[in-house]
Structure 1
Amino acid sequence: MDTGSNTKLAVLIDADNAQPAIVEGLLAEIAKYGTANVKRIYGDWTSNKLRGWKEHLLQFSIQPIQQFGYTTGKNATDSAMIIDAMDLLYTERFDGFCIVSSDSDFTKLAARIRESGLTVYGFGEQKTPAPFVAACDKFIYTEVLRGEEEPDEEPSFKRMSTNELKQDTKLVRLLRNATEASSDENGWAHLGQVGSYIAKQAPEFDPRNYGYRKLGELVQAIKLFDIEERSTGQGHAAAIYIKDKRK
């Protein structure tokens, strides 16, 4: 998954299905993965329901795409986003797409974009259906993006205690499997490789979902792994390695 600054991204936002309160955190998160060359947001801008979004469009240079509600519901908006996404895909100018919605209607779109070899980042609320989450390379719950512009603020998700983390069998299994798959013959695994393995297995995984900002903090809190810092020399930051305590 390419996360370099030269990575060109197309950002498509479903205004009917995303809250304007996330906009700063959303764009800051997207900047971690590349440059948003296109930023479009879809909805019926004649409606007062999108008033909150209107205040942010000029400030963050997001292009509004008008889509009248010809029928009851928001299917018209979804269709416009999907058509635009395919048009942008065929230009072959982008390395990845950011789809901002909690709607399962974009599951097939995400899968189609990935079939073309591009990376798909999904952004939606925790209620987002599992098929859409699984169709993305990485999925970020938008609850963690509120207040991201204030680094000193507490994480949006409640910080889970060591006992709570250990009781989360899915999390424990995910961390242990990733460590085993990334480990050397002595059982030690580079934390970065562990994180890469987890990203491939669980697109929705994010330490912030458990109240921790970094994977290292989460691993330390769960207390199921030995942690070792190894000097890389030449003034570089120390490399972090972990090992399952059962080994």
Structure 2
Amino acid sequence: MTVIGMGEKKTPETFRVSCERFIFLDVIESSEEDAEDTARRASQSAKKNSAKKKTETKKSKVQTQPSLPELPPVPAQATLSGSDEFLGYVPSDTEDEDEDSGITALSDIEAAIVKMITDNSADGKETGLGEIGSRLVKIFPDFDIRNYHYSKLSEFLKDFPSLQVTNRDNAVWVTLKSTPDTEVEKQIQSIFARHNTADMNISMLKSELQDLNPNLDATIRKSGVTRFSVYLNRKIPSVEVNGQRVSLKS
């Protein structure tokens, strides 16, 4: 039996996670209001255009009366102004709400997606958009992109700094962005500085570097190697690897 829950954002988390799927009523109401507002603005715009055409007709002494243009179908979750048009972004009165409004934190969602991609990569598999969507709902029963004012999952994912969304072979794929080697080098130097040392265990260095840079594995693979030690020797000129130790060059 599938358990689907519904409620407001103040619904206790213990109840939300106990459901296989949880839907926020706030999102449904907001979507309906956005659709009504969009339709109203489109209607007002059409009336203004009609009035303008009538005025121009009188000035040019044209006897035929222009007819009202047919309104195009209005997407339920799209806006008609500015850079938001067709980007899947849905403005809402709740846009400035605090992050503790009850929905899953973006950082938790990003971490879950990064783990999906990393695990798939270790198995030699790519990660598709559909897989991410279905797995996110299983991990976070209350996950709904409308909670974050989006209507398209692909556009939602594009705003994460660690993710890259590409269209290929009639499918949408999600990968981790690689980090420039110069930036990785700065991160490594900051780790050494934080420990006030010039020599570290390579496993410890990699672990702390991954905390700073979730894209580390993608960066290493993009460089053409698979081992962290080889990557350091080839791409990071300020360090030297000796067995299980990494040291800063003097």
Normalising to structure 2: TM-score of the pair?
0.42
| CA radius of gyration, larger in | 2
Larger proportion of helix: 2
Normalising to structure 1: TM-score of the pair?
0.42
